[in-house]
Amino acid sequence: MPETNPTRRSGGGLRFVLLGCGLLLAVVAAAYVWTGIRVAATVGHLEAARDAGERAVAADGADDRGALVAAAADLTSQLAAADAAAADPTWAVAARAPMLGGDFDAVQTLARALGAALPNTEPLLAALRGDAADPRALGAALAPLSDQASHALDALGSIDTTALLPPVAAAVERTRTLLADALPALRTAAALAPLNAAVSGDEPTRILVMLQNNAELRTGGGITGAYLQITADGGTFSLDAQASSSDFTARRTPVADVPDAMTALYGDVVGRFPQNASMPADFQVTATLAAAWWQQRGGAAPDVVVSLDPVVLVSVLRVVGPVALADGSVLTADDAISRLLVEPYRTLDSDGQTALMQDAAARIFAQLTAAPSDALAWAAALSGPVAEGRISAWAADPDIAQALAAGPLGGPAARLDAAGPQAYGVWFNDGTGGKMGGYLDVGMQIASAQCRLDGRADVVVRLTMTSTAPADAATALPGDVTGRGMYGTGVGDIGTSVAVAAPPGTFLASVTKAGAPARIAQATEMGRPTSLLRVNLSPGERNVVEFRFVSADAGRADPVVVHTPLLNPIRTAATTVLDCG
């Protein structure tokens, strides 16, 4: 047998193990060195991207298209480089490193989250590089970009910055703040893009603007108190005509077709009075009614119909600044609601009210069209009104109409659909015939529970409605405010029809007012079972109404509510769980 040397073999094995460990340590060390290089590169690109973003914001504010394009291109280039550096597989090794692993992971998450939005920036850059930004291309780019920004914010929200090094924690927090601040404006820009496309065509575009008055509520906001016709042509806008709702003559028959469900809920008044054009939840019906009223008075058929309420005008005034009126007074963002919706009905007759509104509309429009084109400022200013449903739009162009209907400007029914399959719509319509909406206070709560043997959920929409009108409202307030008791509501009281539109297939279990069963009207509007209740409130009176439903399918309910934008913000409580006892 050949001679063996156990000692030699053992020593060779030990050297082999030591050599292997040395090689492994060398590989790991090299990986850490390489990852360190990649981390440094990633951080450098992210810092350069931040600088480019700040230049882009400044260029947009200065309306410098060339500088904006250059800064935006640099921003995307730096983010692409950061994303590529963060995609290196050695980051997985670094993320497990003691002490600094969390920092490496945070930097990678930051770079990858921002880099994920890059594919959606290409159409935006392509549109900006053109001689004039193509509104349709911009709209197509903005919607997915806002979605990706939302995903990035969610990804960064999962990072625990308390365990990170101060510079890394600061970078994550700063990016979170920037995204949180930018997201509402980005969503608003995406929502407004189809409307921008509608008024930016090669041919003149006729725009019919409906000004809502939330002091007298309707589903879409308020009665249509005024109509304006504007023409957009080659980037310029002109105010062609105005009309007050009092300039129209009420009809015995509807001015246009009204869905049967609307008649079942509200009677035959929807299409017979121009003030009621915004009663339907479907804004296409509203636009059809408004266009029909305008044409009946001799106006041209509109290409676009836009609905705005006074809160939108407040946002406009915050951008364009105070507006001097014909009487020498100055209208500001702080007093516009009172000056336009409260004081005129207390101090002016009908002709004076019309003159004031038309003068204010014309002067705000003139200052608006003369204002610098600061897209970010406008998107930020209008983000609140858009999110609250205070701006709705329709276009005769089928493609643009479809894009509008799919977004926040689509009107009440579109906002309800966008809120998800378990969304409930709460619509308010005034029955006073006056301007008592400023005295209506509403608290809203939605609750649910699975208590039934069949597994379906019970859902309750609870409204606490209070009149804050003075005790002597019947005598202290003028008839234009109280409505003079002409529509079955006591003088000084507030009469409101409250309709709740439930998800398709939902069953109505009961409706109570002040704890007692209530008489209601019911109809199916746009596939949604809708129940309507009339609530009358005397000064200082509070009433609690509850709509109780049974969900269409078995399983947990996560209901949400979409509602008419009121003059006073609705106090919304968190969703609660019902007691099954």
CATH number at residue 564: 2.60.40
Global model pTM greater than 0.85: no
- Within this chain, do residues 390 and 465 fall inside the same structural domain, yes or no? no
- Mean pLDDT is lowest, of 151-155, 169-173, 310-314, for 169-173
C-alpha R_g of the chain:
30
Q: How far apart are CA 53 and CA 185, in angstroms?
A: 15
Q: Confidence band (pLDDT; 50, 70, 90) for 105?
A: confident
Count of other CB atoms within 10 angstroms of residue 16: 10
User: Residues 523-547: what's their mean pLDDT?
Assistant: 96
Which element (helix H / strand E) includes 146? Answer: helix 135-157
Q: How far apart are CA 479 and CA 412, in angstroms?
A: 31
The residue among 87 and 7 whose pLDDT is bigger is: 87
Q: How far apart are CA 478 and CA 367, in angstroms?
A: 33
Of the candidates 181, 256, 265, the one whose C-alpha atom is nearest the C-alpha of residue 530 is 265
Per-residue model confidence (pLDDT) at position 120 = 67
Tokens in use for 282?
Answer: 């479907």
The residue among 171 and 314 whose pLDDT is bigger is: 314
Residue 272 included in any domain: yes
- Within this chain, do residues 357 and 452 fall inside the same structural domain, yes or no? no
Q: Confidence band (pLDDT; 50, 70, 90) for 135?
A: low
Average pLDDT of every residue of the chain: 84
Under 8 Å between Cβ of 353 and 345: yes
- Within this chain, do residues 335 and 222 fall inside the same structural domain, yes or no? yes
Share of the chain above pLDDT 70, in %: 84
Residues 6+ away with beta carbon under 8 Å from 542: 464, 465, 466, 467
Q: How many domains does the chain have?
A: 3
Which residue range is the domain that position 189 belongs to? 9-198
Which element (helix H / strand E) includes 426? Answer: strand 423-430
Q: Confidence band (pLDDT; 50, 70, 90) for 130?
A: low
Q: Which residue, 149, 169, 198, sits at the end of a domain? A: 198
- Within this chain, do residues 167 and 226 fall inside the same structural domain, yes or no? no
Categorise residue 492: left if φ over 0, alpha if ψ from -120 to 50, beta otherwise.
left
Residue 4 included in any domain: no
pLDDT digits (tens, 9 = 90+) for 321-378: 999 999 999 999 999 999 988 888 888 888 898 899 899 999 999 998 887 666 667 8
The residue among 534 and 105 whose pLDDT is bigger is: 534
pLDDT digits (tens, 9 = 90+) for 558-572: 999 999 999 999 988
pLDDT of 21 above 70: no
The residue among 86 and 382 whose pLDDT is bigger is: 382
Residue 485 included in any domain: yes
- Within this chain, do residues 163 and 257 fall inside the same structural domain, yes or no? no
Tell me, what amino acid is at 95?
Answer: A
Q: Where are the beta strands (DSSP E) in 64-103?
A: none
Per-residue model confidence (pLDDT) at position 450 = 86
Residues 6+ away with beta carbon under 8 Å from 3: none
Per-residue model confidence (pLDDT) at position 346 = 87
Which residue in the block uniquely carries the two structure tokens 């809502």? 212
Q: How far apart are CA 73 and CA 68, in angstroms?
A: 8
Tokens in use for 580?
Answer: 């099954």
Categorise residue 540: left if φ over 0, alpha if ψ from -120 to 50, beta otherwise.
left
- Within this chain, do residues 294 and 395 fall inside the same structural domain, yes or no? yes
Strand partners, 563: 426
Q: How far apart are CA 50 and CA 535, in angstroms?
A: 54
- Mean pLDDT is lowest, of 50-59, 242-251, 524-533, 544-553, for 50-59
10-14: list long-range contacts, CB under 8 Å, 24+ apart: none
Strand partners, 206: 231
Residue 42 included in any domain: yes
pLDDT digits (tens, 9 = 90+) for 23-54: 333 444 444 444 455 566 666 777 777 777 77
Please give the angle made by the CA atoms of 218, 222 and 226, to the nearest 5 degrees: 130
